Structure 1
Amino acid sequence: MPTPAAPPTPRAAAPPRPEELTAVPVRHYGRWLGAIVVSLAAGSLLWSLLTNPNLDIRLVLSYLTRDFVLRGLGITIVLTVVAMVIGVLGGVLLAVMRMSPNPVLRTVAWFYLWFFRGTPLLVQIIFWGFLGALYPRLFMEIPFTGIVLFDEPTSQVVTPFVAAVLGLALNEVAYAAEIIRGGMLSVDRGQTEAAQALGMRRIKILRRIVLPQAMRVIVPPMGNDTINMLKMTALVSVIGGSDLLTAVQNVYAQNFQVIPLLAVAVFWYLALTSLLSVGQHYLEKRFGRGFGETAAPRNGALSRLISTKERL
């Protein structure tokens, strides 16, 4: 006899749909009030500057592209570029010496850092500007022969421009060395050991493995250092370095238009630092590609080790 079918299970009643909620945004009244206060203060300051007869915007605009301003601007750019190039190259050398197993190289590098980071940049610039008071003449001769290769008055060799370059560049070497050393230490030591296991030389490891990866860490502080160097060129005005600030100082000492000419210098410093900031942004994006993403960097050093071995 067939078994009777079980009675169908009654369906559970569907739960009632919740009422639609209306999202009410949080009102940040304090934020709006703060924005209004700051905007009013900034607008008041800007209006007072534009209407201030002692600033004279028309006079400022007329000075922006004068010959003496553009010459000073060019010297400022040259000082920045030369000082940073020497600083970076010397910084790489000093950072390698600082990390060297050779105790003599480490000691020399430490002493250099200790001296140039421990004395004010302004004092160093003045020292180079008055080097003739310490050594009236600069000469070079072959030892034990009496043959003089070079002998000139110091004032003719170490001009204000040369003194400015020496002061800025030698100081920058010390700070760039620590930035570069920090970037090199950020690279995993295992990558260096893997490259050594493949037979790569120390110089090639530094050039092909360590420095390309360290750039991600080096670029942000080095970019800030470059912007700082541009502003620090104003210090060479104390020795008549012919930079932008020196140029405007020489003119306002004669016509007494101090504020308008200082405003011209401020404008050009802001323009140059803004350009450097944009360049720093793109460099950080370029050297930061592949970091913080799920995919490994396409040009990672470890991924090229095997193919590099074939070229050794």
Structure 2
Amino acid sequence: MLASVPDLLRLLAIPVLVWAAYRDVKTRRVPSRTWTPLFALAVVLLLWDGIASFLAGGLTWSYFLVGAGISLLLVIPASYGFWRFGAFGGADAKALIVLALLFPTYPSYRLGSLVVPLVGTPTGAFALTILTNTVLVGTCYPVVLAIRNALSGRFTPLMVVGWPVHWSDAERTHGRLLEDGEGFTRSGLDLDALRMYLRWRGTTLAALREDPERFRDPVSLPAEPSPAGDGAVTDGGVVEDDWGAEAFLADVGSAYGTTPEGLRDGLDVLTTREVVWVSPGIPFLVSILVGLLVALVYGDLLTSALRVVGAM
């Protein structure tokens, strides 16, 4: 038999994650309802495996308890904690939580004479394997950035954290500016906040560049600003308030941690420079998808690496 019924049903996570990763790359937005069917399936399969393991008793029951315990008491709280501290987004946390419920122990699939995953762990907690694989895949992202920039002849300390973007593409780019009025910064303007600001003012970056002095004057603020939205890329005054930055943030409340000073610095950069460096951020759902696929076929990358260096 190729696999047990529960393990076959667990593979439904793959097409859902493929779609979610695509949305993450294109818009950085994944609807919460995406995870509801998988969550329901995960709960059913967790109970299914729990009852079957209990009836089997012995090592089967112990094996299930260890895997489920690590998933429920370690992986899920860690995923929630990473989201709360801003390490990744809400969709990333929901995906990892659902996968922790869906894969408490190692599944088994027979491909001809080959049985995968190939490399297991002493604990047998597959959710932990997905998490560590995801983190290891994510650490490769700076290397990819560096190679991309090196192939284009861009050798700079920024080459491992971002890439240059023409100002005309800024409204369609995800990430954060790596520049302000004084040079390099890791806390530059979030481009989602830029889109919120432009929609709030009912204008475009091109219009700001054509007449920056007019838009810098708060007198130019609209009497009834447009809805700012959440800054997603779609498919298809006070005299001293330069750019109306304080008025904007007072109206919308919050824009990804942007301050009036940060918004002004970002607008000054975007209206005066042809090319800006942007930290694109990591579409983390892509890392989760790759981490899951590697886990299903190969197994645990960390365990394999520790064995190679003789640490296990």
Provide the TM-score with structure 2 as the length reference.
0.21
Provide the TM-score with structure 1 as the length reference.
0.21
Larger Rg: 1
